[in-house]
Amino acid sequence: MNPLTSQRRQRALGLALGGLAASGALLGAALVLQNLRDQGPLLLPSPRQRAPEPPAQAVWVSPLKRQCHSADSTLRQRLLALQRGLPQRTERLRIDPSNYADRQTRDAYGTRLDTTPSLVVLHETVYGLGSAINTFTTHHPNDSDQVSYHLLLGEHGRVVETLDSSKRAYGAGYSAFQGRWVITNPSMAGSVNNFALHLSLETPLDGEDNDAGHSGYSTIQYDHLALVLAEWMRRYRIPFDAITTHRHVDLGLERADPRSFDWSALQRRLAALGALC
Ligand SMILES: [Zn+2]
């Protein structure tokens, strides 16, 4: 990171942590005001009541397609070389316990839950990696400030595991996927967090705003993304059409991330890794 970049990031960090509540910015608020803004209607269950269903939502049509052959051996070789060094290069961060929880084995109504991750939600950081890390490592006593993802992928190649996959990250508030959510707190509406893995791409500098798009993500980010997704798909048997976006799962219709995401770049890489067959 050059000095100018660093300076901009610092300024952005100040904006992210200090100015969001006042600005009411949509994307800018993504990290900080998640639970407060997406809390949804108050639910008051009786002890034997079944969990209510999520409201109707658009059907997820995955931009990824099944593909059993890839002619791109150069891409495959590059990805496999990158994969070999990935465990050593992955930074493992200890974030503040206020920003995550265990995956619940029963919902607020006593129904048993499968704690194996079965969904991947893609995000973008809006501000730099340092801003996200600072937020996750800060103690947040108020529910409305608590937020985390499992993994961050930096614009220049940093891979930061912020939370173990076995834990429940607070990556989405009021949310559902294909008619499924989990209500873990009877005073709040449901969320995908209990069965989701949350991964966030560092936003380029020209995306530190609420515009509809930006210049997009770097080659190394798509390379790392494909490697991480292929591993999660293999380990947890997650189908490719269960890789989705925060924009899609958000029932509050306020999230737009990840903006300017190139699904064809991901398709090429996952196919080269044999992960789409
Ligand atoms: Zn998001």
Question: pLDDT tens for residues 78-131?
Answer: 999 999 999 999 999 999 999 999 999 999 999 999 999 999 999 999 999 999
Dist. CA 110 → ligand 1 center (Å): 29
Domains contained in the chain, number: 1
- Quick check: helix, strand or coil at residue 168? strand
Query: Has residue 66 been placed in a domain?
Result: yes
Tokens coding 98: 């206020």
Report the distance separating Cα 73 and Cα 215, nearest Å: 27
CB contact at 8 A, 157 and 82: no
Q: How far is the CA of 195 from the centre of ligand 1 (A)?
A: 16
Which residues place a Cβ less than 5 A from the ion ligand 1? 30, 123, 246, 257
Interatomic CA distance for residues 96 and 119, integer angstroms? 24
Helix (H), strand (E) at residue 120: strand 119-124
Residue 49 lies in a domain: no
- Has residue 118 been placed in a domain? yes
Q: Check if the beta carbon of residue 41 is closer than 8 Å to that of residue 150.
A: no
Q: Cα(259) to centroid of ligand 1, in Å?
A: 10
Whether 14 and 28 have beta carbons less than 8 Å apart is answered as no
Residue 248 in any domain: the answer is: yes
How remote is the CA of residue 8 from the centroid of ligand 1, in Å?
A: 21
The pLDDT value recorded for residue 48 is 58
Confirm whether 76 is domain-assigned.
yes
Provide the token pair at 4.
Answer: 């100018």
Query: What pLDDT is recorded for position 239?
Result: 98
Return the pLDDT at 254: 93
Using the mean position of ligand 1's atoms as its centre, give its distance from the Cα of residue 224 in Å. Answer: 18
How far apart are the C-alpha atoms of 66 and 214, rounded to whole Å?
A: 28
Please tell me the distance between residue 30's alpha carbon and the centre of ligand 1 in angstroms.
6
Question: 96 C-alpha vs ligand 1 centroid, how far in Å?
Answer: 19
Q: What pLDDT score does 143 carry?
A: 86
pTM: 0.84
Report if residue 139 sits inside a domain.
Answer: yes
Pair 109, 97: CB distance under 8 Å: no
The residue segments making up the domain with residue 73 are 3-40+58-272
Residue 260 lies in a domain: yes
What is the per-residue pLDDT for 43?
56
Beta strands in 130-233, from DSSP E residues, in sequence order: 151-153, 159-161, 167-169, 196-201
In the chain (277 residues long), the average pLDDT of successive 10-residue segments reads 35 31 33 40 60 94 96 96 97 95 95 97 96 93 91 98 96 96 91 98 96 97 98 98 98 96 98 97
CATH code: domain of residue 114: 3.40.80.10
Joined together, the tokens standing for residue 149 give 């993802």
Q: Is residue 236 part of a domain?
A: yes
